[in-house]
Every structure is written in C-alpha cells, then in structure tokens.
C-alpha cells in the first residue's frame, strides 16, 4: 500500500468530525472517496496532510508513519495535496505558481517539468505569463493540479477535481487524471459526482457523517444500488 | 524657484532611507503577519553599529564596507530574534506580537545607551560624497544626490529579487497564502526567518546610510517607526511599490511642511494620511485584509454583573484603600494617588479593548491631552481647580473625537498603527510648539488648591475619581450601548445587518475611553504639578497596554488589578535601577513568551484541556500550532 490510514479521528474545536476512518491506496491505483456535502471528505484529506490540528490515528505513507510530521515534511515525502478551494496564488503568473510547487526529482515517482505539464494541460501553456487571478475556474483547477505535480508526488490527494466545471472541462480533467495514472501516480480523489468517479477510479470508499460506510471496487459498487441510494443520491 | 527644487531634492533624499525601512517592515508583515515594532530599533542599531565600524575601518572601502557589514550584523541579530522569540509567538494574538517587539525596542534603547553612551554621535562623511554640488544657485550635498539615486535602485533590486528568484516568488506566494505554500512542501520556518532577516537588513541599512546625514542618538527608533507606520498606512501594508510612493510623499510633505507650518510640520502629514484613509482605507497600493484575526480571549466568556459577594469585596477594597492615609506616609500616598490615576487610565483603555475590541497603541494621547487641558486652563486662563478638572478632560474628548473618527475606519493592526501614529503626532505638537506648550520644558507649577492639597487629600480625591470612573465605565458596559458595542466587536457585519450603526458606536466608545483617559491625565497634572510631552509618549501608551494585558483583557476588573500591580512594580523598578527600560522590556518579552495566548487564553486552554474529548488530541493540537487557523 502506498497510503494506509487507520483509526483516524479528527476534531474542529469541540466538534468530533471523523470517526475511526480507515482507508488505503495501492501503488498506481486511483481510488475515489465518495460522499455527500459535509460527509467529511475534505476533512479526511486535510487530516492526512496535517492541516487539521486536532487529529489522532495512524497515517502511513510508503511504510513510514507521518501523522506527527508537519505538513511541509509530509508533502516533501511525495504526498501531493490539491485543496478543494483551489487556492491559486492570484498575484503570481502561471509559471510562478508552478515554481512554488517545484521540488527536486524523486527516484520512485514521475518527474514533471512545466513543459510536460503544458502538454497535459494545453490551456495553461497558452497563458504562461497570465496572473492566476485572471483565469477561469476550470483553468485555475488545472493549475492547482499542475502546481502540485511540480512536486513530483508519488501519490496525489485530489479534493473534488470536477467541482463546478463545465462538461467539456470535466472530460479534459478525466483524461488528465488517467494520464497521471499512466505515469504511475497513485491518486485518492474525493467526489460527489459518481459519473466522474466511475470514469477514472479503480475502487471507491463511501463516507457519511465522518464514517466509512462502504468499501469496494467500482464493479462492486455498481452492483449495490441500495448503497448508492442511501449514501450518494440526492 | 531654485530653493523649492532643492527642497524637493532634500525630500527625495530622506525618502530613500524611509523607503528602505518601510519596505522591510512591509515584507515582514506580508509573510509573517507580524507588525515589527522593533523595526525602528533595528534601524537605530544599524546606525550605531555603522558608526563604530566606519570609525574603525579606514579608507573608502572601510566606510562602505562598514555600512554593509553593519546592516549584515544587525540582520543576524534579527535572525536570532526571529528564531528565539518570534517563532514562539506566531500563533499568538497580534497584540502580543506588537507588544513583544515593543519590549525588544525598550531593551534596545537602554542597551545602546549602555554601549555607546547617551550623547549624540556624529558619523564620518562618506568618501567621495563629502562636498556639495551647486544647483539652481543652491548647494546640494552630494551625499543627498547619492541617496536620491539609491532609493529607486533598491526598488529595482527588490523588484528583481521578488520576480526573478525562487525565494522572491515564494515570498510573494506566502504573502498571499502562507498555508498553501506549506501545503506545497515549503518549510515556512526558514522562509519566515529569511524574510525577517531580509527586512531587518533593509532597516539597518537605512539606519547605517543615515550616519553622514544625521547624528546618531538613542531616540532615533521611535522617530523613524512612527514615520514608517505612517508610510505603510498610506502606501498599504505588504506593498513595496506602495512603500516607495508613500515614502516620497511623506518625505516631501515633511520637507515642504517645514515651510508652511514651521513648528508643527507633522500636521500636514496627518492631513494627507487622513484623506488617504478616507478614500482608500487599505492604503494607496494595499489590498483589503481578510477579516482581521480576532484577539483571542476577548469573547470567550460573557460578562456577568457583579455578584453580591463581589460587590461586598469591592466595597471592602475601596474602604481599605480609603483608610490608607491613617497608616501610610507621604511618599506612599503620592504613589497611591499615582496608582489610582493609572487605574483610571488602564480602565479606559480596557473599556475600548475588551468591550470594543479596539486595541489602541496610542491611548496616552488622550491622557496627555487631559493633562495639557488642565495646564492651559490653570496657567493661561487661571481658572479654579475644580473648573480645570471638569473642563481639562474635554481636550482629551476633542482629541479622541477627531482621531477616533479616522482610527475606527480601520481595524486590527492598522488600527493599532494609526492610533500610535496619532499619539506621536500629538506628542510632536507638544514637543515642537514651544510658545504654547513650552516644548521639552513643559508647563510647570500647576498645584492643587488647599481643599485638595496635601498627600492625603489628593490621594482621597484621586481614589474617589477612580472609583467613580471605573463604576461609570461598568455601568456603560452593561447598558444597551455596551451590548451594542460588544456586538460590533463580535461581528461587525451581523451587527450592521440588524441596524446597528457600528462605526458610530465604535466612535462613541473611542470618545468615552479618550475622555476617561483625559480625566486621569487631568489629575496627573495636579499630582505632578507639571505636564511634559512625556505624558503623551509611546512609553505611556504601552504601559497602559501592559496593565490591561497583565490583568487580563477578559475580566472587567482586570485593568484595575493590572494597573495596581504594574504601576507599583514599575515605580519600584525606576527607584532601584537606571536601566528600567531594559528590565521592563525584558519583563514584557517574558510575559508574552510565557503566556503566548494571553493570560486569559492560557486559562481557557487549561480549562479546555480538563474537559476536552480526549487529552491526547489537545496535546496534538498544542504540538502543531501551524495550519490551525
Ligand atoms: N473549519 C471548520 N470548522 C468547523 N467545522 C468544520 C470546518 N470545516 C468543516 N467543518 C464541518 O465538518 C464536517 C465535514 O466537512 P468537510 O468539509 O470535510 O465535508 P466534505 O465531505 O468535504 O463536504 P463537501 O462535499 O461539501 O466539500 C461538516 O459538518 C462541516 O460543517
Ligand atoms: Mg469538501
């Protein structure tokens, strides 16, 4: 397993948000974390990279326990994180945004350069010197992913990559994720959009009110319309 | 005509040094969100160290090498300060960070006197720039021309640094969203340290480069920090371009202000700042800040009116205090009166800070105005004491009404910086307008009339007024006005949406606090028999802050306890040592480090720990303060 989380409990102040969350991502796998609004998907991701201050549990990345390390150290080990809110540096150009994400080459992971990323996301290549603040939502979403890939991660946490994108851009995004997978990057993505998840994922977890309610392959999930209706459908 | 052009050039030369210091402050704030009060102290240290190095090293290389070495040496001191002190308090309330760096400033002021002595030092002239160039029939020092060129050159270098180097790009990114930068694998710790070092380098360089123009002395720090605060407020915190433009503006206003209002040129700067703030509250090149971080410990526990027991305890305390003259001697009674006066002063600031959420760093302005009000009425108009006491505080009220109007347009650190700048402006007027205020010599022999003369009577008077003022402030706290004010503190938007005119309420609170401080100041003038510009000084403003923080911002009685403890301690310290600033500064720094969340925040943490869902998670939280915002 590339990433193994177990017994994860997280709190915001007095509020207990995650309850004994356990999940894993194998090398080269694309795994979806599904759930409705407020299920705790983003909190899970933020907890894994150490952005939630109050959390307990085990987080093993490539066999090392990282739960007690600061965010930057976890990320430097090759665990990339793409936040939900995008958080582009709006004053910086596309190239400068990429520069912030740059980390040295890693032996066990694909190596990304701006030029390689511009072939993955051709739109970005056409606006290298444009400030991040003057890009569309879809372009910003691509830029956040590209920025994280500049760190040459072996695993990426993608928080709702399809959120708020037009169908055409969603398709581009799905292709980009599949290309990342081909390059050997393992991916854990959160989604509410089951169609999108189905296009790209190997396995899925379903989360509800801070607990994992289902775990299985995409095919197993297809076979359980009851689970889908209970935890996903609106 | 020629004269004006030359005046303009002199202004530009001053602007360069101002720009260096202000850009350093801006960069540090942008990334670390710390308003580095000690920036002026680093500027001053740069000048002192450069003085010594340029004296020791000979030749042209010696001079220029000495300047650069001095800036580097001070930058190293800055890095140590960041690693040993600031790293501990990044997650503390803004107020504590300002206080900690202020404590440092106090320490440095005494340290430079210890090392270099109290006298002004005249530095060496810069080799190659000793003479003057004749322009338009006037002599312009060639060093001024050098400085004029230097400013834009530094601006250009900084631009390249921030756009062409990885470090610069990281700094710009962190200025916008430092947590995201960490989430991309950048170690914030070293970024912060390097940024702080760079900012301090710029400040020290600014100071070092001033030595051929200006004498080096131990009050340089406050003079420059106030100008720099004005510059960044006008230019916009975090913007280098803004710092440059505003530095030129302020320096030119100073240069020409001297011609218009020779004695009180600073008024012109104030007027321009006021206009800028009304038109663009975040400065010419600044961006609106996301809602300022709340000062924790302010809104945790709703206040209760006193319980029956507390009322009794309070009454007993007052009676005991009133009996003091039976046992205490004259000196103790004078100290007692002074403490009572400072209880008034601290309670007035406490009202503004805790109920209004507005931390003024220049509250002494209104205390001092009250004192000067009495002095004018007693000395110039010759009015009876009771009338002076009643009308003197009105000067504090007027001051608070004018300055408060502008200050409440801002919040958080901007509010703090602006109130500080206002106080310093009042101080400058008291200091510079000699025909009216007596300048440094103050106004002397303001003695109480017989009914209040003598240590015991004056003590009783002060005590009675203190009890009355504190009681009145409490009544206001629990009045509908007090509740509305707390509403504006807790959520400006919400209170406005339910029809509360928040600005008006905050302004009123500012005026109430200023008037109360003025009452304290009026008494103080009679206690000391004189008024001096020091009664408005930054030192006094910070004393008030320390008293409030020491006692606890949260508790209504905190300011009273804080004032008694702090004032007694500092009177004792001053009587025991010549280096009271060094010790006081050290104490402030220690308090901030020992109670990084504020004293009340600390108590909250202890309470939270005892009833947290799991003590382990609380420990985890404590060990990982980053990203918790
Ligand atoms: N900073 C916060 N402070 C307090 N509670 C929070 C905070 N962030 C999220 N929550 C709460 O935690 C729960 C889980 O939120 P989270 O953002 O993880 O859900 P999510 O599954 O990502 O939802 P969405 O699909 O809307 O992004 C929600 O009930 C939310 O209200
Ligand atoms: Mg989410």
For B258-262, what is the mean pLDDT?
77
The lowest-confidence range among B8-17, B399-408, B544-553 is B544-553
Closest residue of chain B to A147, computed from CA coordinates: B184
> Domain A3-231, CATH 1.25.40.10 — does that match?
no
pLDDT at residue B629 above 50?
no
For B86-103, what is the mean pLDDT?
84
Helix (H) / strand (E) element for A189: namely strand A186-191
Complex confidence, ipTM: 0.93
CB contact under 8 A, B183 and A81: yes
- Min Cα–Cα distance to chain A from B628, Å: 5
Whole-number pLDDT of residue B81: 95
Question: A43 CB under 6 A from ligand 1?
Answer: yes
Q: pLDDT of A148-175, one tens digit each?
A: 999 999 999 999 998 888 888 899 899 9
Whole-number pLDDT of residue B564: 86
| A35–B contact, CB cutoff 8 A | no
Tokens of A30: 């694309």
pLDDT at residue B589 above 50?
yes
* Domain end marker among B190, B219, B248: B219
- Grade residue B120 by pLDDT with cuts at 50, 70 and 90: very high
Question: A53 CB under 6 A from ligand 1?
Answer: no
Residues B128-158 as b/e (b if ≥16 CB within 10 A, e otherwise) read: ebeeeeeeeebebbebbbbbbebbeebbeeb
In angstroms, the CA B236 to CA B276 distance is: 10
Choose between B609 and B411: higher pLDDT: B411
Question: A21 CB under 6 A from ligand 1?
Answer: no
Tokens of A163: 């959120």
Whole-number pLDDT of residue B355: 83
pLDDT at residue B296 above 60?
no
The whole domain housing B142 covers 2-219
A96 to A128, B391, B523: CA distances (angstroms) = 9, 61, 60
Q: A52 C-alpha to center of ligand 2: Å? A: 14
Interface of A with B in 78-97 (CB under 8 A): 81, 83, 87, 89-92, 96-97
Neighbours of ion ligand 2 (CB under 5 A): A 41-42, 84
Q: What is the CATH number of the domain that holds B436?
A: 1.10.3470
Percent of chain B with pLDDT over 70: 89
Ligand 1 pocket, mutate which of A35, A36, A42 (most atoms under 8 A from CB): A42
In angstroms, the CA B417 to CA B106 distance is: 17
Closest residue of chain A to B180, computed from CA coordinates: A87
Whole-number pLDDT of residue B410: 82
Percent of chain B with pLDDT over 90: 43
* Whether residue B520 sits in one domain with residue B382: yes
pLDDT at residue B615 above 80?
no
Whole-number pLDDT of residue A43: 96
pLDDT at residue B18 above 50?
yes
For A47-51, what is the mean pLDDT?
94
Whole-number pLDDT of residue B557: 65
B538 lies in some domain? yes
* Whether residue B347 sits in one domain with residue B204: no
- Grade residue B301 by pLDDT with cuts at 50, 70 and 90: very low
Number of domains in chain B: 2
In angstroms, the CA B309 to CA B512 distance is: 29
A201 to A3, A29, A187, B302, B567: CA distances (angstroms) = 16, 8, 9, 51, 68
B132 lies in some domain? yes
Whole-number pLDDT of residue B555: 61
Whole-number pLDDT of residue B621: 39
How do B138-141 and A54-61 pair as beta strands?
Answer: unpaired
Domain ranges of chain A: 3-231
Question: A164 CB under 6 A from ligand 1?
Answer: no
| B56–A contact, CB cutoff 8 A | no
Whole-number pLDDT of residue B292: 46
pLDDT at residue B124 above 70?
yes
| B290–A contact, CB cutoff 8 A | no
Q: pLDDT of B343-396, one tens digit each?
A: 999 999 999 988 888 889 899 999 999 999 999 999 888 899 999 999 999 999
Q: pLDDT of B391-417, one tens digit each?
A: 999 999 999 999 999 888 887 778 888
Q: pLDDT of B411-458, one tens digit each?
A: 777 888 889 888 988 988 898 888 888 888 999 988 888 888 888 999
Interface test with B, best of A11, A50, A53, A57 (most B CBs within 10 A): A53
B290 lies in some domain? no
Whole-number pLDDT of residue B134: 83
Q: pLDDT of B162-197, one tens digit each?
A: 999 999 999 999 988 888 999 999 998 999 999 999
pLDDT at residue B619 above 90?
no
The DSSP line for A90-131 is: TTSBHHHHHHHH-----TTS----HHHHHHHSHHHHTTTTSB
Q: pLDDT of A74-118, one tens digit each?
A: 999 999 999 998 899 999 999 999 999 999 999 989 999 999 999
- Grade residue A64 by pLDDT with cuts at 50, 70 and 90: very high
Whole-number pLDDT of residue B264: 65
B458 lies in some domain? yes
In angstroms, the CA B499 to CA B591 distance is: 40
Closest residue of chain A to B608, computed from CA coordinates: A14
- Grade residue B85 by pLDDT with cuts at 50, 70 and 90: very high
DSSP B307: P
What integer best gives the mean pLDDT of chain A?
93
* Domain end marker among B163, B193, B219: B219
Q: Which residues of A touch B620 (CB under 8 A)?
A: 53-56
Whole-number pLDDT of residue A115: 95
Q: B183 C-alpha to center of ligand 1: Å? A: 19
In angstroms, the CA B610 to CA A159 distance is: 35
In angstroms, the CA B402 to CA B366 distance is: 11
Q: B491 C-alpha to center of ligand 1: Å? A: 22
Whole-number pLDDT of residue B337: 94
* Domain end marker among B187, B219, B251: B219
pLDDT at residue B107 above 80?
yes
In angstroms, the CA B524 to CA B460 distance is: 14
pLDDT at residue B610 above 90?
no
Q: B185 C-alpha to center of ligand 1: Å? A: 24
Q: pLDDT of B133-165, one tens digit each?
A: 888 888 888 999 999 999 999 999 999 999 999
Q: A37 C-alpha to center of ligand 2: Å? A: 7
Nearest Cα residue to A178 out of A159, A192, A197, A204: A197
Which pTM does this prediction carry? Answer: 0.85
| A227–B contact, CB cutoff 8 A | no
CB contact under 8 A, A100 and B616: no
- Grade residue B276 by pLDDT with cuts at 50, 70 and 90: confident
Whole-number pLDDT of residue B133: 84
Q: Which residues of B touch A147 (CB under 8 A)?
A: 184
Question: A111 CB under 6 A from ligand 1?
Answer: no
* Whether residue B357 sits in one domain with residue B215: no
CB contact under 8 A, B179 and A51: yes
pLDDT at residue B263 above 70?
no
Question: A18 CB under 6 A from ligand 1?
Answer: no
Name the packing angle between helices B94-116 and B538-551 (round to 10°): 130
């Amino acid at each position: 397993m590339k990433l193994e989380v177990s017994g994860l409990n997280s709190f915001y102040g007095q509020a207990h948000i995650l309850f004994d969350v356990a999940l894993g991502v194998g090398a080269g796998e694309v795994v979806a974390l599904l759930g409705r609004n407020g299920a705790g998907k983003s909190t899970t991701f933020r907890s894994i990279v150490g952005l939630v201050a109050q959390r307990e549990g085990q987080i093993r990345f490539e066999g090392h326990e990282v739960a007690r390390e600061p965010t930057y150290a976890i990320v430097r080990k090759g665990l990339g994180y793409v936040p939900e809110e995008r958080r582009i540096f709006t004053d910086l150009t596309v190239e400068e945004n990429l520069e912030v994400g740059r980390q040295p080459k890693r032996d066990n992971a694909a190596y990304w350069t701006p030029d390689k990323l511009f072939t993955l996301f051709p739109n970005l290549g056409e606006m290298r010197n444009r400030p991040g603040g003057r890009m569309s939502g879809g372009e910003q979403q691509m830029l956040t992913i590209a920025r994280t890939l500049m760190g040459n991660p072996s695993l990426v946490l993608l928080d709702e990559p399809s959120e708020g994108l037009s169908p055409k851009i969603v398709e581009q995004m799905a292709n980009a994720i599949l290309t990342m997978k081909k390059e050997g990057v393992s991916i854990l993505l959160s989604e509410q959009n089951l169609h999108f998840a189905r296009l790209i994922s190997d396995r899925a977890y379903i989360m509800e009110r801070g607990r994992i309610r289902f775990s299985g392959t995409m095919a197993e999930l297809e076979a359980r319309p009851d689970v889908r209706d209970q935890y996903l459908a609106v | 005509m020629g004269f004006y052009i030359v005046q303009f050039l002199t202004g530009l030369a001053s602007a360069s040094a101002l720009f260096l210091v202000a850009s350093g402050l801006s960069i540090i704030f942008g990334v670390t969100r710390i308003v580095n009060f000690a920036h002026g102290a680093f500027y001053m240290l740069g000048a002192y160290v450069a003085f010594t190095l340029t004296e020791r090293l000979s030749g042209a290389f010696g001079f220029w090498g000495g300047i650069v070495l001095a800036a580097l040496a001070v930058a190293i001191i800055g890095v140590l300060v960041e690693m040993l002190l600031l790293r501990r308090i990044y997650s503390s309330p803004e107020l504590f960070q300002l206080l900690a760096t202020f404590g440092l400033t106090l320490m440095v002021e005494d340290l430079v006197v210890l090392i270099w002595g109290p006298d002004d030092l005249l530095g060496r002239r810069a080799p190659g720039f000793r003479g003057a160039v004749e322009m338009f029939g006037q002599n312009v020092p060639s060093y001024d021309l050098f400085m004029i060129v230097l400013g834009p050159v530094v601006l250009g270098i900084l631009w390249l640094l921030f756009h062409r180097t990885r470090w610069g790009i990281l700094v710009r990114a962190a200025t916008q969203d430092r947590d995201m930068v960490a989430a991309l694998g950048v170690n914030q710790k070293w970024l912060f340290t390097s940024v702080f070092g760079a900012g301090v380098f710029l400040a020290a360089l600014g100071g070092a480069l001033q030595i051929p123009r200006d004498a080096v002395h131990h009050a340089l720090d406050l003079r420059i920090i106030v100008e720099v605060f004005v510059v960044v407020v006008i230019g916009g915190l975090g913007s280098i371009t803004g710092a440059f433009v505003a530095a030129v503006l302020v320096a030119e206003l100073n240069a020409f202000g001297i011609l218009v209002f020779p004695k009180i040129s600073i008024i012109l700067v104030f007027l321009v700042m006021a206009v800028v703030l009304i038109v663009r509250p975040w400065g010419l090149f600044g961006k609106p800040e996301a809602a300022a971080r709340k000062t924790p410990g302010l809104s945790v526990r709703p206040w209760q009116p006193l319980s029956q027991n507390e009322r009794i305890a309070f009454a007993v305390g007052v009676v005991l205090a009133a009996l003091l003259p039976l046992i205490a001697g004259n000196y103790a009674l004078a100290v007692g009166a002074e403490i009572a006066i400072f209880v008034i002063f601290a309670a007035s600031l406490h009202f503004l800070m805790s109920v209004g959420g507005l931390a003024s760093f220049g509250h002494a302005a209104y205390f001092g105005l009250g004192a000067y009000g009495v002095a004018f009425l007693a000395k110039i108009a010759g009015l009876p004491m009771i009338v002076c006491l009643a009308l003197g505080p009105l000067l504090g009220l007027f001051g608070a009404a004018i300055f408060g109007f502008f200050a409440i347009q801002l919040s958080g650190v901007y509010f703090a910086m602006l109130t500080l700048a206002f106080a310093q402006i009042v101080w400058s007027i008291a200091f510079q307008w000699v025909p009216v205020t007596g300048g440094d010599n103050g106004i002397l022999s303001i003695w109480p009339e017989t009914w209040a003369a003598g240590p015991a009577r004056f003590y009783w008077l002060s005590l009675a007024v203190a009890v009355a003022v504190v009681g009145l402030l409490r009544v206001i706290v629990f009045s509908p006005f007090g509740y509305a004010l707390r509403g504006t503190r807790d959520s400006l938007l919400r209170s406005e949406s339910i029809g509360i005119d928040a600005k008006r309420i905050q302004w009123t609170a500012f005026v109430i606090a200023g008037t109360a401080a003025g009452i304290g100041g009026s008494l103080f003038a009679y206690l000391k028999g004189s008024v001096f510009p020091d009664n408005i000084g930054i030192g006094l403003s910070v004393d008030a802050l320390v008293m409030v923080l020491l006692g606890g911002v949260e508790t209504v009685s905190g300011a009273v306890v804080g004032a008694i403890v702090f004032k007694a301690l500092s009177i004792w310290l001053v009587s025991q040592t010549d280096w009271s600033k060094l010790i006081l500064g050290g104490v402030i720094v220690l308090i901030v480090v020992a109670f990084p969340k504020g004293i009340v925040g600390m108590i909250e943490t202890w309470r939270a720990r005892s009833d947290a869902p799991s003590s382990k998670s609380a420990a985890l939280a404590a060990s990982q303060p980053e990203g918790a915002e």
